[in-house]
Structure 1
Amino acid sequence: EHWAWIFVLALYISIFGTVLELYDLQKSSRIETVVSTIILTTSVTVLFYLLTPFYTPSLPDNRLQIIYFYIAILLGLFVWRWAYITFISSPRFYKRVLLIGETSNIKSIVNAFNDADPNYVIVGYINCESNKKDTVKFTAVKEFSPKNIRRVIKDEGISEIVVASYDSENITPSIYSDLISLLEKGFPIKEYTQVYEDITYRVPVQFVGKDFYKYFPFSRNNKNKLYLTYRRLFDIILSLVGLAIGILFLPLILIGNALGNRGKLFYTQERVGKNGTPFTIYKYRSMVKNAESAGAVWASKNDSRVTPFGRFLRTSRLDEIPQFINILKGDMSMIGPRPERPVFVEELSQVIPFYETRHIVKPGLTGWAQVNARYGSSIDDSLLKLQYDLFYIKHRSFMLDINIVIKTLSTVIFFRGQ
């Protein structure tokens, strides 16, 4: 019986810690940034644990025991996160990396790594191009001579080499020979796009060259009938639950629409679905009438066309409740890349490589890009979201679906919808 108590407690801490972003690596590297999250996670966990009627101990007669229990969980989480910050995020665990690639690509690669993981330190780079007369110098990190690779590794404490060449033919024979020699001695040498994907959980389409087929071994679950059947059942059940919850909010939405929006309640628009097939998407209207009388315009974070009540609908995600109808019809799924408008798909597919690859699965109400990236209001934002979308398509699985559902709950709880 006591093992059941411990299991339920650990399960609650894992679930609520994830929803409340206690394990977000970008926010948990400093203790001062996670104090409020630890307190909130402890409070919610203890509340649900004590109110759970099964597989948990009965409420104690002495109320002080509840306080002792709360303090024990709070201190336990504090010690745990302190240990993580001290021993895992400590500089002694930084990876010191040497890049080998063309100078023209180094700047964007270094910036991508710095933004993704501060523990992954780019010490310097080696220009692998044989003709270096016309190359532009990059001064943000130190450039080393290709003749001194072994000395650089020893003197700089390099723990890993990352090959970031857009075209492997550019790697000179001498560098190639040194890399083979280091590899035979067991020194870690990795390809840039795989490192980028492992650190950022995105597929770096902007750095994929002619051998693109190497980077898109899409998840076998995309053709797995058992997985696809589970997904369809998952979609139907959650859509019915979502519509039932939507009915509860309908009086509030009707009143708010009558007072704040003054017009039609529903809004329909053509979007691009699986395999590029267009469909009509349903939403609660959140913008003023004739918001696009001058033509299609990118939506922005503080879009002036959004009404005050429409802003509430967007931040709470209530405007998307009608899309459960699209899911029941089979136009959409609960999880997948967000469907985009045909005019923007045509524009983006001309400037972003592999953009239409996101259409090989059904579009979703939520997705890996939605829980990790900001609102897409530009081509750069669309590129970032495409990287997340392709990562999802590549690694699509039951566990990743659950991860997205939990992260979506935190997005709704903290009103991050836009």
Structure 2
Amino acid sequence: MPKLSILNSIERKFILLIVDLAIIVASLNLFINHAIDDEFISFELKVFVFVFGISTYLGLSYILDFYNLERTGRKRHVLSQSVYITGIFVFLVFVFTIITYDVSFWRIPLLYFLILTPLEVWLWRLFFTNVFSIIPTVKKVLYIYDENNLDNLRENIGYINGDGVSTFYKVKLTYAIKEDQSNLDKQTFHDAIDKIDTWILNVQDYSDISKELETLLLDSILKGKEVLTYTSFYESVYEAMPIRSHYHSFYELLQLKNKKIRYLQVIFSFMVNFILSLFVGIVFFLVCPLVWFFNIFLNRGPLFYTQLRVGQYGKEFKVYKFRSMVVDAEKNGAKMASKNDNRITPFGKILRTFRIDELPQIVSVLKGNMTFIGPRPERKIFVDQLDAISPFYSIRHLYKPGITGWAQVKYKYGEDLQDSIRKLEYDLYYIKNKSVTLDLRIIFKTITTVLFSRGV
């Protein structure tokens, strides 16, 4: 199958976005130039309503995960998701225009805008789903690995084929690199190359690849095949680092050597911490009396609890939270909290659902021990255990811990040490790719988590 016939997830998202935007732009044009009475239309109104409309649509799409291809591919979700998101969009544009400008409307064009926009988006997405259920979208993979990594073969293939996400890759053939590669069957490899779309290499030392195999690999590139390392594949698809593949060095994994200082990132981080400290501080002081009041009747005991956590450079500090568990929660020793932990009180579940219990951490931020975005701080007893499991764990202490972070918004609630190791993959991805854009994504995803009780 020619490579050009296969569209990857980025290409499909781009097609979906372009047509969606075309529909949204056409709808905004109908609203601005036909639904609003001519005598009220001005250049300023056109610009502001149009910019607000596009920004609102993009913001809603991101926060409500409108371009999740797994959901888009399920026909039963297409109608509800399209109507729900575009319905909110047209309503917000309509309300914004009324509040901002003193205008009147022509009823028929206004109804077209309010009703036809969700309908058009739904019909387009239904067509998109049907078309891509026919067009092949999965790339056939030839997986190259070291013979001595046979124990991890099944796990690594599982991640390529998809572990909880649609990767759009499928391992069809595997080849183990051995010490003796003199009997390499070139004809078999040539036949295999014609049947696959992508090479994924997971080897410890690329100098172990024989000249014959290297020639076949280069030959494959010239034929338009895709060649990826396992690390780059994993980072791109899962937005995390594959620390359990064991085939990377400290510098290769994080690229910390000679890392440039990004001044824009420093300024942005300062502004985020300043603005959110002010906002969260106000919310904390407003909420505190209410939590105290309900705590008397529904969660008797201390209002707050403090705990030592490991912060930047491995130094311990006190973290503050509203108490959500029973008073003697750790009488039998330290234990990680789980999502349905029976130590959590009924009122504590409400606090955790809406992340209210996290608000007192603003104290740690003001003290300079924490920031808003960063790896989640852990207790020393668990840090020591995790250090013994993974040599990479302490790398997350290069930065100040955060109230929210990439691991918190990307992975489920961590209930054991293995979940903590999996979250480490996301923490290391954040450390390696720390940027203004990634921080903004975390902020938006955190808003979604709080509003819709998603994630951790």
Confirm or deny a common fold (TM above 0.5): yes
State which of 122, 126, 129 in structure 1 corresponds to 2:175. 126
Q: Which moved more, 1:396-405 or 1:97-106?
A: 97-106
SS of 1:124's partner is strand
Alpha-carbon displacement from aligned partner over 1:171-209 (angstroms, at most 9, x marks no partner)? 345323322443456543221110111111111111243
**Native 8 Å contact 1:166 1:207 kept in 2:** no
Match of residue 28 from structure 1: 72
1:349 positional shift:
1.0
SS of 2:317's partner is strand
Whole-Å separation in 1 of the counterparts to 2:333 and 2:242: 32
Whole-Å separation in 1 of the counterparts to 2:101 and 2:178: 67
Match of residue 376 from structure 2: 338
Q: Does 1:313 find its partner at 2:351?
A: yes
**Native 8 Å contact 1:126 1:145 kept in 2:** no
SS of 1:5's partner is helix
SS of 1:334's partner is strand
1:15 aligned partner, one-letter code: G
SS of 2:136's partner is helix
Alpha-carbon displacement from aligned partner over 1:241-266 (angstroms, at most 9, x marks no partner)? 01212333334312221111101111
Q: Which moved more, 1:49-58 or 1:182-191?
A: 49-58
**Native 8 Å contact 2:387 2:394 kept in 1:** yes
State which of 146, 159, 174 in structure 2 corresponds to 1:112. 159
Runs (5+) with no aligned partner, structure 1: 133-143
State which of 212, 235, 240 in structure 1 corresponds to 2:278. 240
Structure 1 residues 126 and 372: alpha-carbon distance in aligned structure 2, compared to 1, 3 A threshold: same
**Native 8 Å contact 2:409 2:449 kept in 1:** yes
1:9 aligned partner, one-letter code: G
Structural mapping, 1:384-403, within 5 Å: 384-403=422-441
Alpha-carbon displacement from aligned partner over 1:337-365 (angstroms, at most 9, x marks no partner)? 11111111111111023011111111111
1:216 positional shift:
1.1
**Native 8 Å contact 2:373 2:405 kept in 1:** yes
1:350 aligned partner, one-letter code: A
1:27 aligned partner, one-letter code: R
Whole-Å separation in 1 of the counterparts to 2:99 and 2:258: 38
Q: Does 1:268 find its partner at 2:301?
A: no
1:93 aligned partner, one-letter code: T
Whole-Å separation in 1 of the counterparts to 2:201 and 2:415: 33
Structural mapping, 1:68-107, within 5 Å: 68-82=112-126, 84-86=128-130, 91-102=135-146, 103-107=150-154
1:281 aligned partner, one-letter code: V
Q: Which moved more, 1:310-319 or 1:102-111?
A: 102-111
Match of residue 84 from structure 2: 40
SS of 1:298's partner is coil
1:225 positional shift:
3.8
Match of residue 237 from structure 2: 199
Q: Does 1:322 find its partner at 2:370?
A: no
TM-score under structure 1 normalisation? 0.88
**Native 8 Å contact 1:313 1:319 kept in 2:** yes
1:58 positional shift:
5.7
Q: Which has the higher helix share?
A: 2
Q: Which moved more, 1:225-234 or 1:324-333?
A: 225-234
Match of residue 12 from structure 1: 56
**Native 8 Å contact 2:409 2:455 kept in 1:** no
State which of 284, 291, 296 in structure 1 corresponds to 2:322. 284
**Native 8 Å contact 1:236 1:328 kept in 2:** no
**Native 8 Å contact 2:251 2:257 kept in 1:** no
Match of residue 150 from structure 1: 190
Q: How many residues align?
A: 405
Whole-Å separation in 2 of the counterparts to 1:91 and 1:146: 31
Structure 1 residues 220 and 289: alpha-carbon distance in aligned structure 2, compared to 1, 3 A threshold: farther
Q: Does 1:51 find its partner at 2:95?
A: yes
Alpha-carbon displacement from aligned partner over 1:77-123 (angstroms, at most 9, x marks no partner)? 32453355355676423222111113433211111122242421221
- Identical amino acids, percent of aligned pairs: 34
**Native 8 Å contact 2:49 2:93 kept in 1:** no
1:335 positional shift:
0.9
**Native 8 Å contact 2:240 2:429 kept in 1:** yes
**Native 8 Å contact 1:205 1:387 kept in 2:** yes
Match of residue 136 from structure 1: none
Structure 1 residues 150 and 405: alpha-carbon distance in aligned structure 2, compared to 1, 3 A threshold: same
Structure 1 residues 117 and 129: alpha-carbon distance in aligned structure 2, compared to 1, 3 A threshold: farther
Whole-Å separation in 2 of the counterparts to 1:210 and 1:45: 46
TM-score under structure 2 normalisation? 0.81
Tell me the C-alpha RMSD between the 2 structures.
Answer: 2.7
**Native 8 Å contact 1:260 1:309 kept in 2:** yes
Whole-Å separation in 2 of the counterparts to 1:127 and 1:145: 13
Whole-Å separation in 2 of the counterparts to 1:90 and 1:253: 54
